[in-house]
Amino acid sequence: MIIATADNHIGYRQYGLKSREEDIQNSFKAIIDAAINSSSDLTISGDLIHTTRPTPASIAFLKECHLRMMSHGMAAYVISGNHDKSSPHWIENFCDSDSGDTGFQLIDNLRVKAKNSDIYIRGVAFTNLTDWKDTITDINSDEPVDLVLMHQSFNEFTNFENPEGFSGAVLNDLDPHKCKAIVVGDTHVSASFMTHHGINVMSPGSTETISMSEDSEKTVILIRRSSSQHEDDDGLVFNDIPVPTRPCYSFDISDEKELDFVIECLTPDMDKGPIVNIKCNYAVDSGLSRLNQLFVGEAILRFRHYNPKVEEAIDTENELNIQEVLSKFINAEDAEYELATILTNPECDARYEIDSYIDKRLDELQDSELHTG
């Protein structure tokens, strides 16, 4: 069996809190536990690591995970994502002669058989549409696989459509006899769609809440070979497995009555140390001190204030299309346009998105210097 995961973002210290970095590590440990208990291997569809410049503590944690998987005779098949694509990839530091075919295994553009099952996997590193056409040719001309791992932002998994990005249409030329399913990372959502020729495209989502625009209930996908000739999915069966994470809640507070309701809702869950995102009217701002007094040190409280009079003034009959406004100032084909579009979502984690953009640009500059040097 295989447990498919993606977007683990090891090393990410959300809100600058060490406890959130530990949450992200703990969710990954839980996934390894599930794999060990079910005698499964792991697949990781990109962004195992949050950055191409991980801290020593992150590297030590990954080394610990690597050795634990080795001791249980299991493997974790990894592809490069946009956050951790580097040459060499950091996990290659672990892949020495002692590792053999266990522990972390980087499979960018490789075809492998899983260590503990007869499931064949092909890895596709984070790429662009031009190179993807060559990749399709390689897959169609190679031996068949059960799973293809990718790390791309498919329009089907996002809230906005990028005409220059990936979509189900780019899979049209993929031979369905060469690939039974695709496991995609990048968008942090748990969802799936079927191509027109019957290939199941699945996004397991991130394994902890990286941005507050995400669903806080996280899952991984257990994939096994069908034991019945009558089951669907061309011989593969897929089941979601929940991943333990820190609870997350979001509330809108416009008056004292709603504030009382929020306090009532949160009190039973304080022992779990939830993340609480609160959008609050300036009129009840003074009442928020009650929340701080009651829950500080127990919950991670995040506040976003608003003025209802301003919001009402903005909400006119002639609503502006934010993408049309942005296109007047930023070329829609530039990476900055996608970043600006994401940042217009009030629920996004701006720090995470900006850090991601900076990491990507630094990597591009580094690649450019290598090629010109």
Which stretches of the chain drop beneath a pLDDT of 70?
Answer: 96-99, 164, 228-234, 282-288, 306-328, 332-333, 344-349, 351, 363, 366-373
CATH 3.60.21.10 fits domain 2-243 = yes
The reply to whether the predicted model has a pTM over 0.75 is yes
Distance CA 121, CA 141 (A): 15
Task: Indicate the domain borders of the chain.
Answer: 2-243, 248-368
Q: For position 233, what pLDDT does the model report?
A: 42
Distance CA 275, CA 295 (A): 11
Q: For position 324, what pLDDT does the model report?
A: 62
Distance CA 87, CA 297 (A): 41
What share of the chain in percent tops pLDDT 70?
A: 83
| 42-52 tens-digit pLDDT | 999 999 999 88
**Environment class of 76 (CB within 10 Å of its CB; exposed 0-12, middle 13-18, buried 19+):** buried
| 218-243 tens-digit pLDDT | 999 999 987 765 545 458 899 999 99
| 81-101 tens-digit pLDDT | 988 888 888 888 877 666 688
Residue 59 burial (CB count, 10 A): 17
Distance CA 104, CA 76 (A): 5
